[in-house]
């Protein structure tokens, strides 16, 4: 059992290598940058979450989304628990811990970049196999607001921001397992754009965790 699991689940000191002030600085950059990456997970937290991800059940993702002009190809597997994990899942506990860290970071920014709390209520764990196509250029659904947080837990692949569905003007956001990829979503700093992004060049088996704020989930509840 890892140090993270042995103590309080995902206590900040054992989980995150950066505090609210450093995360606030990163969030502030999203006013002018669509996405960025920074190291955030301790090695013990990364290892624990990756082991939990390896133990999950998976199903193939829908291979083609929005056939036609807005077509997106998906070549990965998604956890059977998507989008909401059980209350006793380590991923639910981690989402709560990151949500708390994010709230502390947002409180340090003035004026607030988003007018309300940002619950990380949409969780997805994805598994990519070596040689996978990944996912072609796309934008996240409009129901997701404020912040998108992606945590590569293992493996190597290329994550890029681009200008359109053809992948024009692509720019890689270099990442390593344990990093946080932060991406701007509608509403942050009053902006409404949704960055196009894609993932390809999967060199080794990759498990990643995605956390998002699904504004429709609260209406359903």
pLDDT over 90 (residue 70): no
* pTM of the predicted model over 0.85: yes
Residue 109, pLDDT score = 97
Residue 5, pLDDT score = 43
Contact 197, 59 (CB under 8 A): no
Name the H helices within the chain. 3-6, 12-15, 20-29, 43-54, 90-107, 215-220
CA 51 to CA 91: how far, in whole Å?
A: 11
Give the strands of the sheet with 64-65, arranged side by side.
64-65, 72-75, 134-138, 196-200, 158-162, 171-172
Residue 7, pLDDT score = 39
Contact 189, 133 (CB under 8 A): no
Residue 220, pLDDT score = 56
pLDDT over 50 (residue 142): yes
pLDDT digits (tens, 9 = 90+) for 15-52: 999 999 999 999 999 999 999 999 999 999 999 999 99
Give the strands of the sheet with 206-214, arranged side by side.
35-39, 179-184, 144-154, 206-214, 122-128, 77-79, 58-60
Work out the mean pLDDT of the chain and round it to a whole number: 92
Residue 1, pLDDT score = 36
Tokens of 102: 């994010």
Give just the sign of the alpha carbon dihedral 52, 7, 22, 120.
positive
Q: In degrees rounded to 5, what are phi and psi of residue 186?
A: -50, 140
CATH fold for domain 3-220: Jelly Rolls (2.60.120)
Q: If pLDDT is split at 50, 70 and 90, which confidence band does 6 have?
A: very low
Residue 30, pLDDT score = 98
Tokens of 136: 């072609």
Residue 90, pLDDT score = 94
Contact 27, 103 (CB under 8 A): no
pLDDT over 70 (residue 3): no
pLDDT digits (tens, 9 = 90+) for 110-137: 999 999 999 999 999 999 999 999 999 9
CA 98 to CA 123: how far, in whole Å?
A: 12
pLDDT over 70 (residue 100): yes
pLDDT over 60 (residue 72): yes
Q: What percent of the chain has pLDDT over 70?
A: 95
Residue boundaries of the structural domains of the chain: 3-220
Over residues 51-71, the mean pLDDT reads 91
CA 155 to CA 46: how far, in whole Å?
A: 12
């Amino acid at each position: 059992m890892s140090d993270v699991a042995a103590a309080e689940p995902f206590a900040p000191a054992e989980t995150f290598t950066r505090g609210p002030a450093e995360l606030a600085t990163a969030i502030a950059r999203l006013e002018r940058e669509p996405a960025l990456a920074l190291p955030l997970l301790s090695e013990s937290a990364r290892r624990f979450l990756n082991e939990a991800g390896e133990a999950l059940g998976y199903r193939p993702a829908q291979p083609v989304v929005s056939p036609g002009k807005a077509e997106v190809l998906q070549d990965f597997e998604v956890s059977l628990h998507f989008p909401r994990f059980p209350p006793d899942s380590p991923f639910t506990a981690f989402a709560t811990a990151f949500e708390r860290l994010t709230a502390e970071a947002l409180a340090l920014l003035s004026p607030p970049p988003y007018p309300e709390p940002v619950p990380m209520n949409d969780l997805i764990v994805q598994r990519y196999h070596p040689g996978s196509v990944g996912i072609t250029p796309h934008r996240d659904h409009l129901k997701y607001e404020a912040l998108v947080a992606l945590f590569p837990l293992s493996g190597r692949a290329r994550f890029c921001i681009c200008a359109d569905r053809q992948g024009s003007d692509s720019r890689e956001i270099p990442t390593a397992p344990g990093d946080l990829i932060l991406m701007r979503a509608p509403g942050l700093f009053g902006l409404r754009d949704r960055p196009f992004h894609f993932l390809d060049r999967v060199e080794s088996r990759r498990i990643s965790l995605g956390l998002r704020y699904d504004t429709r989930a609260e209406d359903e509840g």
